[in-house]
């Protein structure tokens, strides 16, 4: 039976491959996040459908790997659907966060390799999705921003170090800055270097960087990264999920995204 989706598209593509001296066919599942009108924002319906698609591909022995990408020319995913979150009651929002957490862990532990084809901006919850995957590939339009620190929260403290080591996550998660091919993340280095002719003080304070973000958010991220050292990956994951609703609980949606909501206005959910 073919599953019908409203927020994603799926297809299985066939590609030739060489195994030893023989040419064989490989089957790859492709999932496209399909809400380009809102930059593929991750509402609950989309993440539920994505989880179901991964489950279906895991059960299909003909599929060797899965690729996730975004529809449209601009975005892989802009992150969580802020308008949806704003309309939820605190109880429903907390339940939704727990549901999302389960889906994220499923992505990270999927029995099939899952590759993120980051075809544009990847912000907030989009980076949580992306860093949970096995591999990432990008293009000249790819850019990443870890935005949770802006509202006293945290994300990817357990997953990003698995990709790039401990030093780069401290920069990425704490700065909430934009990383792209024109401002790349130097994965092998723990320091972001500026050309000698530029004053690093002026450069650092002229962009949305570490010093401009919430002090408690920065402290929480650093604390959790330090606590994670040497712990099993699942324990790191559980610590972040528990911390987001407990000792490191940040701002409400209204408080954390006040600028966004002021610019965009209130958009009730369509019936």
Question: How do the domains of the chain map onto residue ranges?
Answer: 8-264
Show Cβ contacts of residue 30 under 8 Å, excluding neighbours closer than 6 positions: 10, 11, 12, 13, 66, 67, 69
* Stretch 9-22: mean pLDDT: 77
Query: pLDDT tens across 187-207, in order?
Result: 333 333 344 434 333 343 333
Which pTM does this prediction carry?
Answer: 0.73
pLDDT at position 198, please? 41
pLDDT at 220 over 90: no
Show Cβ contacts of residue 270 under 8 Å, excluding neighbours closer than 6 positions: none
pLDDT at position 205, please? 35
**pLDDT band for position 101 (50/70/90)?**
very high
Structure-model confidence comparison of residues 245 and 50, the more confident one: 50
CA dihedral 5, 11, 12, 15 (to 10 degrees): -160
pLDDT at 30 over 70: yes
Query: pLDDT tens across 256-267, in order?
Result: 777 778 877 766
pLDDT at 186 over 50: no
- Residue 112: which of 5, 26, 20 has the closest Cα? 26
CA distance 109 to 239: 17
pLDDT at position 170, please? 58
CB 152 within 8 A of CB 182: no
Percent pLDDT > 70 in the chain is 74
Distances (CA, A) of 262 to 51, 108, 250, 256, 258: 32, 35, 20, 12, 6
CA distance 128 to 136: 12
CA dihedral 105, 56, 38, 101 (to 10 degrees): -20
Domain 8-264 part of CATH 3.40.50.80: no
């Amino acid at each position: 039976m073919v599953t019908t989706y409203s927020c994603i598209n799926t297809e299985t593509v066939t590609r030739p491959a060489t195994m030893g001296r023989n040419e064989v066919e490989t089957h790859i599942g492709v999932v496209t996040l399909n809400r380009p009108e809102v930059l593929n924002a991750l509402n609950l319906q989309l993440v539920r459908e994505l989880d179901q698609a991964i489950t279906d591909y895991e059960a299909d022995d003909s599929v060797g790997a899965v690729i996730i990408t975004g529809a449209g020319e601009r975005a892989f995913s802009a992150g969580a659907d802020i308008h949806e979150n704003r309309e939820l009651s605190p109880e429903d929002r907390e339940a939704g966060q727990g549901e999302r957490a389960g889906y994220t862990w499923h992505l990270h532990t999927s029995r099939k390799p899952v590759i993120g084809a980051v075809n544009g901006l990847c912000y907030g919850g989009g980076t949580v999705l992306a860093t949970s995957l096995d591999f990432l590939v990008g293009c000249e339009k790819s850019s990443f921003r870890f935005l949770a620190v802006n509202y006293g929260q945290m994300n990817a403290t357990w997953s990003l170090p698995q990709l790039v080591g401990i030093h780069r996550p401290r920069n990425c998660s704490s700065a909430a800055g934009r990383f792209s091919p024109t401002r790349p993340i130097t994965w092998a280095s723990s320091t972001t270097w500026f050309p000698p002719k530029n004053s690093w003080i002026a450069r650092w304070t002229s962009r949305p960087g570490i010093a401009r973000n919430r002090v408690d958010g920065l402290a929480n991220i650093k604390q959790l990264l330090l606590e994670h050292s040497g712990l099993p990956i699942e324990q790191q994951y559980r610590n972040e999920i528990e911390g987001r609703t407990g000792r490191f609980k940040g701002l409400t949606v209204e408080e954390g995204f006040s600028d966004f909501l002021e610019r965009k206005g209130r958009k009730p959910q369509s019936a």
